[in-house]
Structure formats: C-alpha cells, structure tokens
Amino acid sequence: MQSPWKILMVAPLFLLLSLQSSASPAYDDSSRPRDSNGHTCVGCVLVVSVIEQLAQVHNSTVQASMERLCSYLPEKLFLKTTCYLVIDKFGSDIIKLLSADMNADVVCHTLEFCKQNTGQPLCHLYPLPKETWKFTLKKARQIVKKSPILKYSRSGSDICSLPVLAKICQKIKLAIEQSVPFKDVDSDKYSVFPTLRGYHWRGRDCNDSDESVYPGRRPDNWDVHQDSNCNGIWGIDPKDGIPYEKKFCEGSQPRGIILLGDSAGAHFHISPEWITASQMSLNSFINLPTALTDELDWPQLSGVTGFLDSTVGIKKKSIYLRLWKRNHCNHRDYQNISRNGASSRNLKKFIESLSRNKTLDYPAIILYAMIGNDVCNGKSDPVPAMTTPEKLYSNVMQTLKHLNSHLPDGSHVILYGLPDGTFLWDNLHNRYHPLGQLNKDVTYAHLYSFLNCLQVSPCHGWMSSNKTLRTLTSERAEQLSNTLKKIATSEKFTNFDLFYMDFAFHEIIQEWQKRGGQPWQLIEPVDGFHPNERKSVFLKGMLMTSQTLDNQEWTQLTSWIKGNLTCDSRTREWLCCCLRIVSGRRCSSSGPKSWERRIHSTPRLNRCLETKAGTEPLRSMHPWGAQGGRGLGKLMPQTLGLLRHRPKGVSFSSIFAKCLSLNEEHIWMTVQLCLLLGSVTLPLFLK
C-alpha cells in the first residue's frame, strides 16, 4: 500500500513545483541543499495558522474551520480533493493539538513537518510557549503518541518519485527550468496555452502548427496570405490592392520588449486573502490554480510585459502596453524571460529560451533586470555567497555576447541597477504581518527571523535585524550596480546600443507619497520582500521617463540629438516652453491672447507644441492627434483603429508631441526631463 503521505502529495503537484521554483538562491543550483524541510515547515505553519484563525473568526470548532477552508478551494488541480484528504489524514491530530492550546509551531514540530536538527537553533514564527519548549513539545507528543500517521516518514516524499507522475513531472520541471512553454506543438517557443510558460509569459502564438508563424517576426511577403507575426494585421485592401501590413506598419519601426529578470520581473505574488482568515471567502482562491501553474508569478500583470489592466486601481501601464498603444504593429511582441531565483550566475541556463532571429525578426528592447539574487540568498552567512563585481562583469559580458549573436541590428539593451534593500527592514520590521494582524502576535521581524532560521529567506542580507549585515548587502549591491554602469559606458556591440539605469527607488517612494501612499504599501505583504504591482508599474513608468542616466550617457544622448536635430537657441527656448506647458503654466507669455490660459487638454498641448508655444503659425487645420494632424501619419481604417506612426520626414515637434502624449501623466517637471524624454524615447522607440 502506498504511504498516505505520498498519496497526499499527488494532487498538489503544481504547488510543490511552484514552491521549489520560488526559492531564490543567488548561488548555483548545484550547491543548494536537497532537503526541502524548510519550505515544508513554512507551509505547515501557514496552513495550521489559517485553520486556527478561521475557527477564531467564525467562532467555530477546528473541524468546522478545516472544512470551511476546503470549501473555499477550487476543484481545479484537485485542490479541494487534496484539502479533504489532508483533513482525513491529519485532521484528528491537528484538532487535538489546537484544542490543547498548542500553537502552529508546536503542531508542526509535533507532526514532524518542522524539525530541529542537532546543533541547529529552534525555528519558530510565534512567541515561544510560557513553559519550556522541550516540555511543551513532549506534552504535545503525548497527546498524539498513538496516531498512526506518525509512522509514515516525511522524508523521501518527493512527488516526482511516483512512477505514474515521473514523466509529467520531468516535462513540467524542464519547462520551468528552461523557461519555455510546456505546450508548444511547433516548438517555436510560443504557445496558445496561457500558463506553464505560455502566453502569460510571451506573446500568444496564432498558429501553433507552423514554426514560421510567431509574434515579433518581420511579415512574410507583407502577410498577404496569413498573419505571420500574429499582430492581427494581414490580407489586402480591396480598394487599392495594398497589403494591410504594408499600409499600416511599413516605416513604423515596430519594437518588441524582452525582460531578462528574476522573481521581481516575473511579478511574484502571494495573495494576502489566501492566508488572512478574516478576508477569506469563496472568491479568495479563484486565481490559485492559475498562480500555481505560473509558479506563483503573475507576468501578465508585470510592469514590463503585462498586458492586462492593473488590479490595484492605478492607471500606469506596462512598457509593452505603452509600446502597443503607440504602435499596434507591436501587438503580442513581448517576452518575459524571468525566473524565480534568477541571477547573473544562472541566467545562462535559460537565456536560450529567448526567441529572436537576427534576420527574420524585428529589433527589440531588452531590459536586463537581475535586481536581487546576486546579493540575496538564504544562507546563514549570506555574504560569501554574494556575487563579486568581477564575477558579475564576467557573467554579464557572457550574456551580452549571447544577445549580440541573436538580436537583430538596431536593438537596444538596458542594464538595470540593484536597489538599496535596507528599505525593507526600516519600513516593515515593526508592522504586523497578515498572519499576525488578528491577534497582534506576528510582525515582519518575526517572519524574517523564522525564514532566516530555516535558511529559506529570499534575502537574509536585507531581511535581518543585523544592521551591519544589511549595510554590507547594500554596499555589495552598489558595487554591482557600478559594475553594470561601467559595462554600459565602456563596452560596444554591433547589434544593439547599451544603456544603464539606476534603480530609482527613492523617486518611486516620493511619487507614491505624493499620491497619499505609505512606503510599506509598495512591498508584497505576504513575503515582505518583493515589489508589489504598484511599485513594479511605477518603476517601469519611470524607466520610460527616467532622469537616472549618468553624465557620460547624457553626453552620448545629447550628441545623438545634435547629430539628428537642430539644437539651436530657438529649440532650447521651445524645450523650456515644454516645461511651462507640462507644468500647467501659460503656453507662452509672448503668444496670442487666445493662448494665454492654462493648458489642460492633450489637443491644446499638442497644438501648443506645433506652434512652438505660439511663436509660429499653426501649420494644419486640425489639432494634433486628429485626422490629418501633421506628423502622426494617416489614420488607419476605423475598423482597425490603429495609427501609422512616424512617416518619413517627421518633424521634431511631432516626435516630442507624441512622447508627451504617451507619457503625460508620468512627466516630471524639469527642463532636463524635457530633453531626456525626447532623447531617450527617440533612440529607443523611434530610431
């Protein structure tokens, strides 16, 4: 007969794989301990805590609270069935222990989901019992000493050791490790299935039986017969015989967006509703199956490649949606090559999943955003496991050489710096974690200590009460950022331009506080580490209107402007006028009286730009952005609702107007930003 423990572990296959993939080691996988007792312990304490708090919230028995929890879970992935199996196998013991006023730590140690190895400290989330731990544990074991479940070992319970699941396990693990779709009939690295590395992670395939059809490629014969690049534009206009792809997209310079990132880029997220008893309902777990099959990541909502509207009520859009809004020919051209636990060290293991052909595909914008795991790990002594500047230089150069051999000419790569994570402890340590809000007994300091003790913390260096360790971690992060900056300013590549941008964390906080928010609201509440959706979208919004380029990059961009634009005194005067416009001031103190009013609408803004703040006559009869508006090209047929952008000979004012209208809610009020916005946007999106 199969062990009940192994039977129990069959159903939540995706949960186990997600937990394994959500670990965030900064060191090579070969050095990771195989014992997953730490994650098992965390899972047990979490579940028992929820059961206990559900009984408290609803004034019910422990048995009723367990059944209530199972009733909330969906049928998909056998989650509900598995829950009832847990009750059947462990419920009686949990009831006995909780009824004896044992907390979740004691319950999980008694049932041997948590273990204190010889010579190791005792790991606990909740305050220790008033009686000694040894006495309390002995008392708890006496309560369940006759339990048959205790004779089944928790070790060797890897679900993938079951023959019936070995093959499916291997295929799913391979998809996760290599970051390629689980379901991909034509092996072109694009899928019609949303999760398991499908179109939540990269553009949806529109023909999964033809490997030559995928998002981001240049059209095959202007897509006369089929939609070869999956942007929804194909066929011939019967009125003039011109292919729609040629009519709408020629000269628009489509650009794909590709993210090479870690769990932050993948948008790792555990919903607070899943562990907060007072908020739990039938609707709480609707998205759990999707989350599990996406490794507890939500790339469809990320700040770079997200294609769904924000779930937190903010109007910021991802970089992909901004590119799509500006040019619908970019439809579906996104790739989120991010992975939980990714760093410069292990990127080489899955960068091959990036799909770009030098000759067949459009150029792309690549964001290299390994922002944490080169300094973050869960080891008891995390500093020796951090990436050194020398090793980072070697790793990044290897990545850039790979990109140079695969990216089409005209692409752009942006290296993203590391943040200063001391923010985490400073703003969260004395706040209550969702598990501790009901009884005011668990703070983030308790959570951090618990995870560090088990050596499963996503970042021991920053999630620590040790100020010296936090400072050392930030110093190493700064060293690595300086290394990335050095690479961006000194290395040249044939197929792409290279930029560097700081992680502008303090600017994000300031922007959020201006909106009435608190800094701690920018962090995921459950893990207390990852940036949440608000911060992610704010961060990528700032990338589009960034002021963080260093002096050398600024010089390079200024040189680019001078080589492509007439930067005379009149242009500079006009740029200063832009500052007045976006600041809501008068368009021009010397312009016609009809212009002496505040600029509130985009048409007025665009019209003001066209006339250079009223110093030149209006060149068209239509406001900017209307049909026939100069510089934005002809409107596509209203059935498609697409704009053909940047026809040849476009004027500087039209480019700048489009940049402003694209990012108007994100513009920061400085003359330097006026210049930077035009200069950064031009080479990245309009070159």
Question: Which residues does the annotation mark as catalytic?
Answer: 263
Angle formed at CA 426 by CA 420 and CA 428, multiple of 5 degrees: 110
Q: Report the distance separating Cα 383 and Cα 474, nearest Å.
A: 11
Asked if 401 and 438 touch (Cβ cutoff 8 Å), the reply is no
The DSSP bridge partners found for residue 443 are 432
Asked if 126 and 105 touch (Cβ cutoff 8 Å), the reply is yes
Asked if 110 and 104 touch (Cβ cutoff 8 Å), the reply is no
SS3 label, residue 242: coil
Give me 187's structure tokens.
């092996």
Torsion of the alpha carbons at 160, 161, 166 and 171, rounded to the nearest 10: 40
CA-based torsion, 182, 183, 186, 190: positive or negative: negative
Directed axis angle between helix 652-663 and helix 319-326, to 10°? 140
Q: Are strands 256-261 and 364-369 parallel, antiparallel or unpaired?
A: parallel
Residue 236 dihedral angles phi and psi, to the nearest 5°: -120, 135
Longest CA–CA span in the chain (Å) reads 92
Q: Report the distance separating Cα 344 and Cα 353, nearest Å.
A: 16
SS3 label, residue 250: coil
Angle formed at CA 568 by CA 567 and CA 569, multiple of 5 degrees: 125
DSSP secondary structure string, 275-302? T-GGG--TTTTTTHHHHHHTTTB-GGG-
Directed axis angle between helix 602-610 and helix 652-663, to 10°? 160
Q: Report the distance separating Cα 68 and Cα 50, nearest Å.
A: 11
Determine the distance from the C-alpha atom of residue 129 to the mean position of all C-alpha atoms in its chain, rounded to a whole number. 39
Asked if 494 and 503 touch (Cβ cutoff 8 Å), the reply is no
Q: Report the distance separating Cα 222 and Cα 229, nearest Å.
A: 10
Q: Report the distance separating Cα 46 and Cα 431, nearest Å.
A: 18
Torsion of the alpha carbons at 31, 32, 35 and 37, rounded to the nearest 10: 150
Q: Report the distance separating Cα 329 and Cα 105, nearest Å.
A: 55
SS (H, E, C) 216-260: CECCHHHHCCCCCCCCCCCCECCCCCCEHHHHHHCCCCCCEEEEE
Asked if 192 and 199 touch (Cβ cutoff 8 Å), the reply is yes
Residues 6 or more apart whose Cβ sits within 8 Å of residue 110 = 93, 97, 102, 137, 140, 141, 143, 144
The DSSP bridge partners found for residue 657 are none
